[in-house]
Amino acid sequence: MVGGKAYARWPGLHAEQLYGPGDLQVTTDFRDVLGEIVAKRLGNQSLGDVFPGFATFNFHGIVREG
């Protein structure tokens, strides 16, 4: 079985930690996740061309290398 790991900052579920009417806070930019896939699986290191205007990528270790 695979799973059991969160690949992001966990904000918590207390009322003051939620967004709006009870929604979990978004803590991961989708471009970080897709950028990691593009760079590590597709071998494209030109992430600035794939995601114009987004320069700071924070990979989360979701793609195994090798």
CA dist 57 → 14, 20, 50 (Å): 29, 27, 12
Confidence category of residue 60, pLDDT binned at 50, 70, 90: confident
Supply the range of the domain harboring residue 62: 25-66
Residue 49 lies in a domain: yes
Whether residue 47 contacts residue 35, with contact meaning beta carbons closer than 8 Å, is answered with yes
* 46 vs 10, residue with greater confidence: 46
pLDDT exceeds cutoff 60 at 40: yes
Residue 66 lies in a domain: yes
Domain count, the chain: 1
Mean pLDDT of the chain: 88
- Phi/psi at 59 (5° precision): -70, 145
Residue 10 lies in a domain: no
Residue 18 lies in a domain: no
Confidence category of residue 9, pLDDT binned at 50, 70, 90: confident
Q: Which pTM was predicted?
A: 0.72
